[in-house]
């Protein structure tokens, strides 16, 4: 009964979405306020309906209802409850429901925080989101119904893929989807503005916080996926340039460009046309990712079980949504004005140059990801495009982008001067250069890439310091603390996010430069050393988990004779799917990770063991979290907090200035 | 042309490719060996370890080489098709037992029938590597001069046999 | 003192616990194998390198490569051996050919087009926008900028 309620809720949600996607948009076009006012309640109703459906599926999982095909296919009675719940998005159908659910969450959020928007704009935004929702609901109801019954019911389920039975599974997909789907808000804002023909600076100001929030989620989602791959796959890598990873990285690159471009549009009214295009691109790439993961056109570690019928559905949906938006863009964009003027060498100019680099990087990832498909479609042979390709084209594109990242925030709006910038940045450059050249030597090995990486990271930090110092000289306040507090949060946000990139670069550089690994055959009592640490193997024991059996090895790790930790890597066997999983044991640390993974049992109690010493690897994900923190700081800026409460889109200047003084 | 149409045009091209992509199988890798001489090998025979199977002995006739194993699921699907083809006498199918146990392989053939005049044994998978085999079953069509003319990846089905293999064999026979 | 301890530990180490043997007989050859294998694709896997995969075919191919290394074949020869059997598909670094030119130059073409477009647009803008009268909107903006704490930087 419960699954039928869920199914029925989805059908109702589709009806509501159809209403939401048509009446308000039409109402906005003809200026009919009654029709427009449908948008808000429709969006909220849709949210409740999809929430109901989601709850019903969750109930079916919790209740081990194996008469539901999807539940039987992705869970098992032995599977612990939290993984049964995470199994909701463990395969195609349920993850689509999650997608739709998150889309309605964003819609609901728009209804809450849009009091200050003109009614027509709000109606169009919700209308566009409703139309996107129609596509996903139709998709589920036609070819991917998570509530499909299995009659007679299966005695037990086929279990969740053991690779997915991990805390990462509980949190990574929702985060990632919050990011992907979050770009639908910026997209809807852009389409609404194109439809209404009122593409002005206010539009950019409204879009900014939404885009930043989505970007934060996506950043965290990608970082968590990467961290998960690192400890779960058991061979110590953290990024593989796999098509599915690329599918999440492309919207991130476009989204990052969008965040920066919105700043130009917001501040200077310029490049609206470009910003709109980026907003369309970021969401289109999210949809493209969905297609790539689910259609089976590319081979990937992470792909869902594929079905050409589904692939065709998404492709048609993609063609309608993206094709329609780009057609609208081609029609409306030429009529948009130019905005304020600025010189090539100015903050705006550099932000846009950075945009060019980010978009070129995004284009390269897209090219590399789809190129094998292009060649195959033209019958020109099969090739693989992998990490060596992406590394060699990505680095040269990112180096100038990061160099600009140091200068941009220090350049004046409108027009900057080279001698002035050079004067202000000379010590930052000197310090970066000298320390980048000498640090690797101090650390014991010099390579050009190591120096380059450190140069970029130190460059970001030192230029940020210069920027902050100058900023502090210009704000009011007597003590340093007072002055620090009066620097706007949005500025802090930018600094923190940029420093997050620096931390990330340090992580990548140090791991690439100094990681070491060892494949050894270890008997009980034998030791192996790696990077100052000595590992002693104390044998393996059989242990029994809730739904697996495992051999668990014990490794005493010591450094200079002092015990550091004991690590327990496992080799698990999940009987339901008869799959063997390597569960690595990691001792994380600020400066290094120690990583042990069990290979195969050899004769007389010995095991083949892989040991890794990974310096600074946690900085990779730490950097991403710092970036996201920067985003969070930026949206907590006072002007957004004020904007939510105001009916008028823009705060009159005098009041604003006055409030600032009072504060 | 209106420059604002550029994104749309790029998108249309990409969608076109993605559409074609849906009809392709990314896991099927065409062999660079088609059109090249068959890699030489000399492997012991399954039923008589003293004797060998070697392409040199098959010069002058058109033949198929089928890589299979008793542990392979696709081989079971394919097996009736091979039996049928063998019965028709259109072309001899030589078997290569790939990374298998001798007794299991023999038991398998006893149970499901033996379509092969001779079965070679490739215990270490070396012949497989020389043929670029990446998954069994795989089947090669080899002409009178000892040149590989066609490679079937995955199980043969009646349709492929009727529409591709038999016409190709007939054409090669008449050369 | 610490030094002495360390030396004693190092010297006496093997006496109280055996140092584990490397899994490979020849660590130098193994390092070369690894170096090669991270750029080679495991054919039967979803999308994994030959170095990472545990598939039987990957193991066979690693064995094959090890033997070639033992025979002192160059990296080039080893790669040719694999390509002649499996095609370019095994290479994660696609070779530069007529069909892959676009792949390799594409990113830099994109960058050049983007940079040129940006420069041209900015130049053209500089001409068109110069004589525009300052609108109310812009005026307000300027004031706003001033109000926001003298954003010089």
- Angle, CA of B166, B171 and B175, to the nearest 5°: 145
- Residue B141 · residue B148 · CB < 8 Å: yes
> If you average pLDDT over residues A494-503, what whole number do you get?
96
| Number of helices followed by number of strands (H, E) in chain C | 6, 1
Q: Radius of gyration over alpha carbons of chain B, in Å?
A: 20
- Burial of A288 (C-beta count, 10 Å sphere; 0-12/13-18/19+): buried
What is the pLDDT, as a whole number, of residue A303?
A: 64
In a domain, C80, yes or no: yes
Same domain? For A551 and A577 the reply is yes
Q: How far apart are CA A300 and CA A56, in angstroms?
A: 31
Q: How far apart are CA A355 and CA A254, in angstroms?
A: 9
Residues of A in Cβ contact (< 8 Å) with B20: 377
Same domain? For A17 and A81 the reply is yes
Residues of B in Cβ contact (< 8 Å) with C61: 129
What is the pLDDT, as a whole number, of residue C135?
A: 58
In a domain, C18, yes or no: no
A599 to chain C: closest CA residue: C54
φ and ψ at A607, to 5 degrees? -130, 150
* Chains A & B: contacts with CB separation below 8 Å: 73
Q: How far apart are CA A274 and CA B6, in angstroms?
A: 13
Please check the confidence at residue C124 and state whether its pLDDT lies above 60.
yes
Same domain? For A203 and A232 the reply is yes
Q: How far apart are CA A436 and CA B82, in angstroms?
A: 66
What is the pLDDT, as a whole number, of residue A134?
A: 97
| Closest Cβ opposite residue C52 in set A235, A383, A560 | A235
- Strand duo B119-122 + B93-98: pairing: parallel
pTM beyond 0.80: yes
In a domain, C121, yes or no: yes
Under an 8 A CB cutoff, do C44 and B132 touch? no
More confident residue, A338 or A586: A586
Please check the confidence at residue A21 and state whether its pLDDT lies above 50.
yes
Q: Each residue of A339-366: pLDDT tens digit?
A: 667 778 888 889 999 999 999 999 999 9
Which of C47, C48, C140 to mutate against chain A (most A CBs within 10 Å)?
A: C47
What is the pLDDT, as a whole number, of residue A642?
A: 60
What would the two tokens of residue B121 be?
Answer: 């044994």
> If you average pLDDT over residues A122-148, what whole number do you get?
95
Beta bridge partners of A537: A555
For the ranges A209-218, A444-453, A540-549, C44-53, the maximum mean pLDDT occurs at A209-218
Same domain? For A170 and A312 the reply is yes
Largest CA distance in chain C: 88
Q: How far apart are CA B39 and CA B33, in angstroms?
A: 9
Please check the confidence at residue A10 and state whether its pLDDT lies above 80.
yes
Residue A650's pLDDT band, with cuts at 50, 70 and 90, is: very low
Domain count, chain C: 2
Per-block mean pLDDT, blocks of 10 residues, chain B (175 long): 85 94 82 90 90 89 93 90 91 93 92 92 91 89 92 90 92 87
Domain range for C64: 23-90
Q: How far apart are CA A312 and CA C26, in angstroms?
A: 51
Q: How far is C129 from chain B (nearest CA, A)?
A: 20
Please check the confidence at residue A656 and state whether its pLDDT lies above 50.
no
A298's CB contacts (< 8 A; 6+ apart) are A243, A292, A369, A372, A373, B21, B26
Q: How far apart are CA C103 and CA A364, in angstroms?
A: 8
| Closest Cβ opposite residue B27 in set A299, A322, A334 | A299
What would the two tokens of residue A660 be?
Answer: 């600032």
> If you average pLDDT over residues C34-58, what whole number do you get?
85
What is the pLDDT, as a whole number, of residue A645?
A: 53
| Closest Cβ opposite residue C114 in set A267, A356, A409 | A356
Residues of B in Cβ contact (< 8 Å) with A322: 11
In a domain, A660, yes or no: no
Residues of A in Cβ contact (< 8 Å) with B33: none
In a domain, A655, yes or no: no
Same domain? For C27 and C83 the reply is yes
Q: How far apart are CA C4 and CA A578, in angstroms?
A: 52
- Residue A185 · residue A108 · CB < 8 Å: no
What is the pLDDT, as a whole number, of residue C152?
A: 37
Which of A229, A230, A368, A383 to mutate against chain C (most C CBs within 10 Å)?
A: A383
> If you average pLDDT over residues C76-98, what whole number do you get?
92
Residues of B in Cβ contact (< 8 Å) with A272: none
CATH number for the domain harbouring residue C85: 1.10.8.640
What is the pLDDT, as a whole number, of residue A333?
A: 86
Domain range for A490: 417-514+620-647
More confident residue, A418 or A253: A253
| Closest Cβ opposite residue A338 in set C110, C115, C128 | C128
- Residue C129 · residue A468 · CB < 8 Å: no
Q: How far is B47 from chain C (nearest CA, A)?
A: 25
In a domain, A411, yes or no: no
What is the secondary structure of A646-663 as a DSSP string? -SSSS--HHHHHHHHHH-
In a domain, A351, yes or no: yes
Please check the confidence at residue A60 and state whether its pLDDT lies above 70.
yes
A281 to chain B: closest CA residue: B7
- Strand duo B119-122 + A562-567: pairing: unpaired
What is the pLDDT, as a whole number, of residue C23?
A: 81
Residues of C in Cβ contact (< 8 Å) with A656: 144, 147
- Report the neighbours of A using a cutoff of 3 or more CB pairs below 8 angstroms: B, C
| Closest Cβ opposite residue C93 in set A201, A389, A660 | A389
Under an 8 A CB cutoff, do C47 and A359 touch? no
Q: How far apart are CA A28 and CA A196, in angstroms?
A: 8
Of C90, C110, C128, which residue is a domain's last? C90
Q: How far apart are CA B36 and CA B33, in angstroms?
A: 5
DSSP E strands, B14-72: 43-44, 52-53, 63-68
Same domain? For A190 and A308 the reply is yes
Residues of A in Cβ contact (< 8 Å) with B13: none
Q: How far apart are CA B8 and CA A650, in angstroms?
A: 34
Does the beta carbon of C7 lie under 8 angstroms from any beta carbon of chain A? no
Of C52, C69, C90, which residue is a domain's last? C90
Question: What stretch of H or E contains B94?
Answer: strand B93-98
Does the beta carbon of C80 lie under 8 angstroms from any beta carbon of chain A? no
Q: Each residue of B40-91: pLDDT tens digit?
A: 999 999 998 899 999 988 888 999 999 999 998 889 999 999 999 999 888 9
CA-to-CA separations, A76 to A107, A173, A186, A466, A484, in angstroms, rounded: 34, 20, 39, 57, 55
Domain count, chain A: 4
| Closest Cβ opposite residue B134 in set C43, C64, C83 | C43
Residue A200, helix vs strand vs coil: coil
In this structure, the dihedral spanned by the alpha carbons of residues C86, C91, C97 and C98, taken in order and rounded to 10 degrees, is 70
- Give the DSSP letter of residue A149: B
Residues of A in Cβ contact (< 8 Å) with B12: 323
In a domain, C133, yes or no: yes
- Give the DSSP letter of residue A201: H
Under an 8 A CB cutoff, do A367 and C100 touch? no
Closest C-alpha among A47, A55, A42, A46 to residue A6: A55
Beta carbons within 10 angstroms of residue A316's beta carbon: 15
> If you average pLDDT over residues C75-87, what whole number do you get?
92
> If you average pLDDT over residues A133-139, what whole number do you get?
96
Handedness of CA A112, A115, A117, A118 (dihedral sign): positive
**What are the residue boundaries of the structural domains of chain B, listed by start?**
34-173
In this structure, the dihedral spanned by the alpha carbons of residues A416, A422, A423 and A425, taken in order and rounded to 10 degrees, is 100
In a domain, A659, yes or no: no
In a domain, C17, yes or no: no
Please check the confidence at residue C130 and state whether its pLDDT lies above 60.
no
- Residue B93 · residue B82 · CB < 8 Å: yes
- Residue A447 · residue A440 · CB < 8 Å: yes
What is the pLDDT, as a whole number, of residue A339?
A: 66
Fold of B34-173: Glutaredoxin (3.40.30)
Residues of C in Cβ contact (< 8 Å) with A528: 19-20
Beta carbons within 10 angstroms of residue B35's beta carbon: 10
- Burial of C53 (C-beta count, 10 Å sphere; 0-12/13-18/19+): buried
- Residue A68 · residue A148 · CB < 8 Å: yes
Q: How far is B39 from chain C (nearest CA, A)?
A: 10
What is the pLDDT, as a whole number, of residue A184?
A: 96
What is the pLDDT, as a whole number, of residue A497?
A: 96
Under an 8 A CB cutoff, do A330 and B4 touch? yes
Same domain? For A587 and A627 the reply is no
Residue A482's pLDDT band, with cuts at 50, 70 and 90, is: confident
Residue A549's pLDDT band, with cuts at 50, 70 and 90, is: very high
Same domain? For A570 and A634 the reply is no
Closest C-alpha among A637, A580, A504, A649 to residue A119: A649
Under an 8 A CB cutoff, do A295 and B7 touch? no
- Angle, CA of B64, B67 and B68, to the nearest 5°: 125
In a domain, A571, yes or no: yes
What is the pLDDT, as a whole number, of residue A267?
A: 81
Q: How far is B92 from chain A (nearest CA, A)?
A: 30
> What is the ipTM for the molecules in this complex?
0.88
Please check the confidence at residue C1 and state whether its pLDDT lies above 70.
no
Does the beta carbon of A375 lie under 8 angstroms from any beta carbon of chain B? no
- Give the DSSP letter of residue A565: E
Same domain? For A129 and A250 the reply is no
Q: How far apart are CA A300 and CA A247, in angstroms?
A: 11
Residue A529, helix vs strand vs coil: strand
Q: What is the mean pLDDT of chain A?
A: 89
- Residue A2 · residue A59 · CB < 8 Å: yes
What would the two tokens of residue A84 be?
Answer: 């049964």
What is the pLDDT, as a whole number, of residue A647?
A: 43
Same domain? For C118 and C86 the reply is no
């Amino acid at each position: 009964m419960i699954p039928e309620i869920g199914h029925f809720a989805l059908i109702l949600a589709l009806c509501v979405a159809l209403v939401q996607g048509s009446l308000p948009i039409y109402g906005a076009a003809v200026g009919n306020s009654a029709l427009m006012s449908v948008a808000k309640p429709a969006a909220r109703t849709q949210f409740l309906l999809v929430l109901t459906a989601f709850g019903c599926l969750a109930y079916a999982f919790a209740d081990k209802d194996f008469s539901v095909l999807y539940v039987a296919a992705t869970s098992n009675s032995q599977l612990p409850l939290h993984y049964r719940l995470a199994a909701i998005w463990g395969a195609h159908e349920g993850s689509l429901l999650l997608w739709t659910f998150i889309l309605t969450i964003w819609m609901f959020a728009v209804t809450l925080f849009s009091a200050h928007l003109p009614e027509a704009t709000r109606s169009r935004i919700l209308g566009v989101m409703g139309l996107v929702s129609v596509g996903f609901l139709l998709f589920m109801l036609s070819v991917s119904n998570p509530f499909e019954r299995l009659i007679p019911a299966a005695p037990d389920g086929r279990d969740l893929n053991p690779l997915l039975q991990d805390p990462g599974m509980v949190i990574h997909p929702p985060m990632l989807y919050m990011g992907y789907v979050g770009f639908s808000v910026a997209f809807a804002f852009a389409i609404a503005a194109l439809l209404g023909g009122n593409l002005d600076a206010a539009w950019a100001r409204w879009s900014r916080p939404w885009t930043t929030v989505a970007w934060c989620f996506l950043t965290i989602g990608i970082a968590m996926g990467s961290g998960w791959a690192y400890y779960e796959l058991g061979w110590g890598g953290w990024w593989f340039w796999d098509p599915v990873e690329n599918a999440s990285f492309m919207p991130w690159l476009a989204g990052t460009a969008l965040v920066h471009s919105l700043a130009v549009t917001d501040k200077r009214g310029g490049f609206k046309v470009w910003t709109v295009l980026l907003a369309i691109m970021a969401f289109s790439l999210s949809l493209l990712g969905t297609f790539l993961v689910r259609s089976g056109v590319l081979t990937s570690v992470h792909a869902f079980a594929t079905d050409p019928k589904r692939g065709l559905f998404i492709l048609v949906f993609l063609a309608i949504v993206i094709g329609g938006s780009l057609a609208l863009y081609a029609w409306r964009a030429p009529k948009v004005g130019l905005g304020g003027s600025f010189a090539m060498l100015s903050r705006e100019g550099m932000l846009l140059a950075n945009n060019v680099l980010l978009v070129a990087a995004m284009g390269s990832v897209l090219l590399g990801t789809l190129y094998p498909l292009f060649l195959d479609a033209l019958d020109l042979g099969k090739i693989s495009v992998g990490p060596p390709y992406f590394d060699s084209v990505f680095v040269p594109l990112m180096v100038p982008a990061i160099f600009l990242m140091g200068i941009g925030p220090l350049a004046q709006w409108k027009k900057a001067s080279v001698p002035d910038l050079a004067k202000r940045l000379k010590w930052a450059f000197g310090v970066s250069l000298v320390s980048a050249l000498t640090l690797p030597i101090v650390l014991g090995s010099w390579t050009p890439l190591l120096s380059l990486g450190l140069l970029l990271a130190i460059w970001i930090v030192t230029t940020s310091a210069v920027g902050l110092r100058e900023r502090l000289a210009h704000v009011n306040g007597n003590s340093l603390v007072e002055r620090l507090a009066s620097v706007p949060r949005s500025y802090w946000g930018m600094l923190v996010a940029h420093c997050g990139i620096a931390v990330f670069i340090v992580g990548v550089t140090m791991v690439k430069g100094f990681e070491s690994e060892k494949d050894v055959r270890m008997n009980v009592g034998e030791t192996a050393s790696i990077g100052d640490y000595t590992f002693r193997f104390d044998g393996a024991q059989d242990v029994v988990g809730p739904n697996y059996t495992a051999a668990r090895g014990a490794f005493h790790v010591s450094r200079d004779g002092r015990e550091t930790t004991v690590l327990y890597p496992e080799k698990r066997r999940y009987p339901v799917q008869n799959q063997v999983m390597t569960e690595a044991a990691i001792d994380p640390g600020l400066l290094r990770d120690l990583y042990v993974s069990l290979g195969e049992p050899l004769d007389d109690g010995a095991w083949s063991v892989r040991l890794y010493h990974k310096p600074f690897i946690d900085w990779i994900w730490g950097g991403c979290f710092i970036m996201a923190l920067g985003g969070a700081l930026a949206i907590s800026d006072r002007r957004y907090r004020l904007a939510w409460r105001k009916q008028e889109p823009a705060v009159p200047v005098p009041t604003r200035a006055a409030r600032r003084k009072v504060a | 042309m209106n420059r604002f149409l550029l994104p749309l045009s790029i998108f249309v091209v990409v969608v076109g490719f993605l559409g074609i992509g849906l009809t392709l199988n990314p896991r099927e890798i065409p062999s660079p060996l088609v059109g090249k001489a068959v890699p030489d090998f000399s492997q012991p025979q399954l039923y008589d370890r003293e004797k060998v199977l070697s392409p040199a002995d098959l010069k002058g006739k058109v033949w198929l080489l089928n890589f299979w194993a008793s542990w392979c699921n696709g081989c079971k699907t394919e097996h009736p098709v091979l039996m049928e083809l063998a019965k028709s006498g259109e072309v001899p199918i030589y078997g290569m037992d790939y990374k298998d146990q001798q007794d299991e392989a023999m038991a398998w053939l006893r149970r499901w029938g033996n379509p092969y005049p001779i079965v070679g044994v490739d215990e270490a998978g070396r012949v497989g590597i020389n043929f670029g085999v990446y998954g069994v079953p795989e089947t090669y069509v080899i002409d009178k001069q000892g040149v590989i003319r066609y490679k079937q990846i995955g199980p043969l089905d009646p349709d492929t046999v009727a529409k591709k293999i038999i016409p190709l064999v007939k054409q090669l026979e008449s050369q | 003192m610490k030094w002495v301890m360390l030396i004693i530990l190092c010297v006496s180490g093997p006496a109280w616990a055996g140092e584990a043997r490397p899994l490979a007989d020849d660590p130098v050859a193994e390092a070369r194998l690894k170096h090669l294998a991270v750029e080679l694709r495991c054919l039967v896997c979803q999308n994994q390198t030959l170095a990472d995969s545990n598939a039987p075919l990957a193991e066979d191919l690693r064995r094959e490569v090890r033997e070639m290394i033992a025979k002192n074949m160059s990296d080039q020869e080893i790669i040719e051996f694999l390509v002649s059997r499996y095609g370019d598909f095994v290479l994660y670094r696609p070779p530069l050919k007529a069909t892959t030119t676009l792949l390799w130059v594409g990113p830099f073409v994109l960058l050049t087009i983007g940079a040129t477009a940006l420069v041209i647009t900015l130049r053209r803008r500089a001409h068109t926008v110069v004589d525009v009268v300052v609108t109310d909107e812009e005026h307000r903006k300027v004031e706003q900028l001033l109000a926001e704490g003298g954003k010089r930087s």
